[in-house]
Homo-oligomer: A and B are copies of this chain.
Amino acid sequence: MSARQVTLAEVAKQAGVSLATASRVLNGSTRQVSEELSDRVLRTAEQLGYVPNASAQALARNSSSLVGLVVHDITDPYFSCIAAGVTRVAEEAGLVVVLGTTGRRPEREVELLSTLRAHRARAVVLAGSRTTDRASQARLAAEIDAFTEQGGRVACVSQAKLGTDTVVPGNRAGGRALARALAELGHKKFAVLGGPSELVVARDRLAGFKAGLADAGVAPPVVINGAFTRDGGYEAALELLGSKSRTTCVFAVTDVMAMGAMAALRERGVRVPEDMSIAGFDDIPTLRDTVPALSTVRLPLEEMGELAAGLVLDAGGDEARTVRVAGEVVLRASTAHN
């Protein structure tokens, strides 16, 4: 049903040159080819609609042009922004991005890595936040080793423990600075919607926040753990409202959770910021359009994606590099003086 694909051999034959010459012309090898032959080959290729077979090239060169990108959920703005950064850099480098989604299942992450290894991907960016679970950590580490062993590079976003290149946002420092800023507004009773306790990112932000409160001489916050999603934030906020804490300010460890929390507050008739101040973390683009505007710690998400892709693409030495990006506290309408 389908016409066979034009091969290099056909181009070469048509152009009356050898396979080698055609290859040299069409892929910019180091070797020179006379202008005459070169022209002829180029013209014939054009005319025949020749497109090199990437699999064959990958096989012959023993290296592919694939870059993996592993995220938990591409509809989450946090990940889609990072993805945008990664794809931009990869595409500029003439590479092709393979998108894998884990649905937050650690074993899926391992599977994806293995698939990417099968494809001899040249590099992988792991954007999902890692857990502290020993077993899955170990399996992941093993896969990563296998992957690098084979010549691929791996970079993680926001998790430094794996011995890979990493882009590390200032989770702890950001949480701390935010806590101080909020304490300065006069709040005394804080709550934190903390995400699953085994998530490193969540833990770091929480730890930083606690430290910041301590700096300011404020009592430790009530902590409510929930899923790392909008609905998790929603549930956690409901739980908070159900308890009889006299909280005046709540920190959700991600903006996405904060959005859910705001929805819960709204439904319950709790006014933001009059009755309750709320802040998030990440500064996802969606925040521009929430009412009231959400206070947060801004992370340059797309840039983080670009950085990760950059790390993973320029060969670099053998030891793991770390790029830190700072979070910047941004106070908006959702947090008020108390």
A contacts, CB < 8 Å to B: 1-3, 5, 49, 51-56, 58-59, 64, 66, 69, 73-75, 77, 80-81, 83-84, 87-88, 91, 96-101, 114-115, 117-120, 146, 148-151, 230, 259-260, 262-263, 266, 285-286, 288-291, 302, 318
Contact = CB atoms under 8 A, between A and B. Distances in A.
Contacts of A96: 98, 100, 115, 119
A87 B100 CA distance: 7
Given A83-B74, A118-B53, A263 B290 contact: no
A58 B98 CA distance: 16
Given A2-B151, A80-B80, A263-B289, A51 B117 contact: yes
20 contacts: A1-B151, A5-B120, A5-B150, A53-B120, A54-B119, A55-B58, A55-B64, A55-B119, A56-B59, A59-B59, A75-B77, A75-B80, A75-B285, A77-B77, A87-B99, A87-B100, A96-B119, A286-B289, A289-B290, A290-B290
B230 A289 contact: yes
A91 B101 contact: yes
A82 to B, nearest CB: 10
Contact of A59 (B1, B53, B289): B53
A33 to B, nearest CB: 22
Contact of A118 (B52, B74, B88, B285): B52
A2 to B, nearest CB: 4
Contacts of A73: 84
A318 B51 contact: no
Q: Copies of this chain, how many?
A: 2
A182 to B, nearest CB: 22
A99 B101 contact: no
A184 B74 CA distance: 38
A288 to B, nearest CB: 7
Contacts of A97: 98-100
A91 B111 CA distance: 11
A293 B68 CA distance: 37
A287 to B, nearest CB: 10
Contacts of A87: 74, 99-101
Contacts of A51: 114, 117-118, 146
A151 B286 CA distance: 40
Contacts of A3: 149-150
A120 B286 CA distance: 37
Contact of A91 (B59, B100, B151, B290): B100
A117 B75 CA distance: 27
A149 to B, nearest CB: 5
A291 B288 contact: no
Nearest to A301: B75
A66 B98 CA distance: 9
B285 A262 contact: no
Contacts of A151: 1-2
A286 B139 CA distance: 35
A291 B87 CA distance: 32
